[in-house]
Amino acid sequence: MEVPDYILRLKPYVPGKTIEELERTYGLSNSVKLASNENPLGPSPKAIEAIRRALKDIHRYPDGSCHRLKKRLAEMLGIQSKQIVFGNGSNEIIELLVRTFLRKDDEVIMPAPSFLMYEIIIQAAGGRPVKVPLKNMVVDLKSMAEHISVKTRMIFVNNPNNPTGTIVSSEAFEEFLDKIPRQIIVVVDEAYIEFVRDRTCPVGLRYVNSDKIVVTLRTFSKAYGLAGLRIGYGVMREELVDLIDRVRQPFNTNVLAQVGALAALDDDEFFKRTIRTVHGGLDFLYAEIDKMGLSYFPSQANFFLIDVKQDASVVFENMLRKGVIVRPMSAYGYSTYIRVNAGLPEENRRFIEALKEVL
């Protein structure tokens, strides 16, 4: 069998362990997962109710244009419906952008470490990831602009950046945009933008009508609590939407995801409670980590990095045995760091207890 060499070179993405997987392996129950930056409150109750009502319609194909959801979101964001593409998670939008606009051997500039899916998707399409190291844990936009070549087709900016939780400033972002040639697509992945507390954070949506091509990615998987439904979107110029619509499958978002997302957008009480829970959880965890004399990186997302000053994969394994799932950062090149997301108060306490015992 003949397989393209760039497919043979792919390393599979290793997702956070599921609770079921962990409990099965270690014979545990009542474990806590703080490894995939999910919403600790669960799904929005309004989304659950809307999904329950929509169950009787699942013999029908979904609305491939996501008409209602697009209309509501466009109103909310102050953009046009025609500037939105929905996907099976925002991950599918990354894939659609790459499949629509990248040619084999084109270069894509991205920060490193950052979200591992960029590299995998680009490599799977025969493109060339150009990884630019962070500077003091922050995406180095200046250096990224310096890496532009005639082959550069796209640039990914993850803001806040996963796994560091850091942001770039509006000022740095605008200086960066000024240097970008008009044919290059700048993709700003804002999966965690709802959690940002720093007012200097740029908002990608503001640049959708600018003279540079800026695509903003957002998701319902984090602040909206719908990771299992798989729905996210990209906001971009209409001409890009038209091209992507030719490439994407007509029914790429399902009936339940569409109604769930629509209801979640209208569940303001749940959204606000989520943000409060995450901010309160982070502040509690920072204080406890301080007391333990460990260092961490303050974050603008719903997760942060802790330096455990020893092999993080060992700490990860030992915490698993205590029923607490975190993410070791070895795959991202930080061998002594774990990433943990803010959970419910009780989950945060269990995490701190387990960490103290393990260290």
Q: Tell me which residues touch ligand PLP (CB under 6 A).
A: 37, 89-91, 115, 158, 162, 189, 191, 219, 221-222, 227, 232
Pick the closer one to ligand PLP by CB: 110 or 352.
110
E-state strands within the chain:
32-33, 84-87, 107-112, 128-133, 152-158, 185-189, 213-219, 232-235, 295-297, 303-307, 324-325, 327-328, 337-341
- Can you tell me which residue has the tokens 């930056």? 37
Q: State the minimum distance, in angstroms, from the CB of residue 91 to ligand PLP.
A: 3
Q: CB-wise, 160 or 323, nearer to ligand PLP?
A: 160
User: Bridge-partner residues for 85, per DSSP?
Assistant: 234
- To 10 degrees, the CA torsion angle through 12, 16, 18, 23? 110
Q: Which residue is nearest to ligand PLP (CB)?
A: 89
CB 110 → ligand PLP: shortest distance, Å?
11
Cβ atoms of residues 203 and 214 within 8 Å: no
Cα–Cα distance between 260 and 210 in angstroms, integer? 32
Q: How far apart are CA 230 and CA 222, in angstroms?
A: 11
**Shortest distance (Å) from residue 209 CB to ligand PLP:** 24
Phi, psi of 121 (to 5 degrees): -65, -40
Of 159 and 354, nearer to ligand PLP (C-beta) is: 159
At its nearest, how many Å lie between ligand PLP and the CB of residue 158? 5
Q: Give the 3-state secondary structure of residue 165.
A: coil
**Cα–Cα nearest to 196, from 282, 299, 287, 286:** 299
Q: Considering the complex, state which of residue 300 and residue 354 has its C-beta at the smaller distance from ligand PLP.
A: 300
Considering the complex, what minimum distance in angstroms separates the CB of residue 354 from ligand PLP?
A: 24
Which amino acid is present at 25?
A: T
First to last CA, the chain: 49
Cβ distance to ligand PLP smaller for residue 167 or 191: 191
Closest distance to ligand PLP from the beta carbon of 161 (Å): 8
How far apart are CB 248 and ligand PLP at their closest, in Å? 14
Nearer to ligand PLP, 92 or 140 (CB): 92
Q: Which is nearer to ligand PLP, 84 or 354 (CB)?
A: 84
